[in-house]
Structure 1
């Protein structure tokens, strides 16, 4: 009997790219899964491209790709990170997804993390003022969703170099669309019937584990497994717990977890040397 053909549709986060998911796509490929990484409307170019993009544009783009690739596979899973996890949940709901499983990584159902964004208390008032939300910028700032000092320094250096891996800011009007999507996602979650994994960091600075528990309760505890990480912030696919994330994803998809080579904790001397190099890169960019 021929082996099943298995695919995964991966959805990145707000302002990001497939790099939001770290090396998960490579890990899945090693486990024998074909990956499809969609670039959401308004992404992959300049932050200004997000102005005027609606949540319906994101949902339509992902739904279109889902319908295009689903006939190619015996099993098709859906996985998203941050904004992408909200889209993945809504897609599974609307499609009555039953051809595979669902994975929501750091889903921001609620914006209630310990590092409260400055716009949290006033954004709904700003939304009512014509044109203002389009002109206001929400900048990416430290800790960049990352607890690891080393990875944070590397990300900071990439921002300083202008690498096109993540937008340095997004318009506030884009946050408005995320808010609209959050409201939609919270409704009718019991329509999701596929096995679901939710992975969330206990110290997520953007969205507390309340989001994970809310989804689990509304989808149904009999169909949902929640994993709470203890050594990461929001960007769980690249932070300290990234190996655990990969293992949990493979386990949920019933794939071989041995493809994940768990990284040994670096010695302090090696970490300091890599930090020095990252900081040296920042200093060099500052002189340019």
Structure 2
């Protein structure tokens, strides 16, 4: 997981392609993954003229043991720094992510309010129906890790390049953050585009209705991905994600639709 595709990505805006305005998108990978899983998505946005920041979250891209020394606060700090860099250099900023990356994007939107122009998530999680998570507070001290559910892809021959173990201390930290985010979802006011795979073996279908009912967004769009599993940004519906994301960014940042720039956080 140390090759170029797993490295962070930082690309400037090309306002000549976006009507003279500088628009940025912070894109985050998910739990135990790396930028590799969302790099094609980020590059597709950059090709359309949008500035992109794709950070490598702390504890990722190395070993699951190292990840077990990091927490939700560390990962959030990385995406917040990426967002703030974009905010300094651009007229508007959106936040996006896959799986836990989408959860981090929602957390940013809750904290920053109207300073975020839009939120794009793919198979984001804020809850689970799995009962085995109830033992995480105890299991994390005994086991350290469990086998991961990685490479949940319908498309043949594609490798997510995620860890082959789930670090339990890190997983527990992530799930503790879910409840706080659920309580804060009404603070999300930006338009939301939520992609959900029809079949997902990692994130169940409990999160989407919670997010839909919880946010205060004036616009909430749901798009089902019929031919992809969890890592949809590398799967058969990836082009749909790329095209619909770009259209969403263009629309919600268009001054003709009332967006004139970032509000104060």
Fold-level match, TM-score > 0.5? yes
Q: Runs ≥4 in structure 1, deviation > 4 angstroms?
A: none
Counterpart of 2:190 (choices 194, 198, 212) is 194
- In the TM superposition, residue 131 of structure 1 has moved relative to its aligned partner by 2.0
Aligned CA RMSD, in angstroms, stands at: 2.2
Larger-Rg structure: 1
- Of residues 119, 122, 127, the one that matches 1:105 is 122
Q: CA deviation at 1:9?
A: 0.7
Which TM-score applies when normalising by structure 2? 0.81
Residues 1:93 and 1:221: Cα distance change in structure 2 (over 3 Å): closer
Which among 7, 26, 32 is matched to residue 43 of structure 2?
26
Residue 5 of structure 2: aligned partner:
none
Looking at structure 2, the residues matched to 130 and 84 of structure 1 have their Cα atoms a distance apart, in angstroms, of 22
C-alpha separation between the residues in 2 aligned to 1:126 and 1:35? Answer: 35
SS at match of 2:234: coil
Gaps of 5+ in 2: 1-14, 252-265
| Aligned residue number for residue 11 of structure 1 | 28
User: Residues of 2 paired with 1:130 and 1:249: CA distance?
Assistant: 37
- Contact 1:203 1:233 (C-alpha < 8 Å) held by counterparts: yes
1-structure distance, mates of 2:79, 2:217: 26
Counterpart-to-counterpart distance in 2, 1:78 and 1:145: 24
SS where residue 35 of structure 1 aligns? strand
Query: Are residues 1:74 and 2:91 paired?
Result: yes
- Is the alpha carbon distance of 1:67 and 1:253 closer, same or farther for their aligned partners in structure 2, counting shifts above 3 Å? same
Q: TM-score, normalised by structure 1?
A: 0.75
- What residue is the counterpart of 2:135 in the other structure? 125
Distance 2:216 2:113 in 1: 15
Corresponding residue of 2:74: 57
CA deviation map 1:147-167 (0-9, x unaligned): 22x2xx342xx8xxxxxx322
Of 139, 142, 145, the residue aligned with 1:136 is: 145
Partner of 2:246: 250
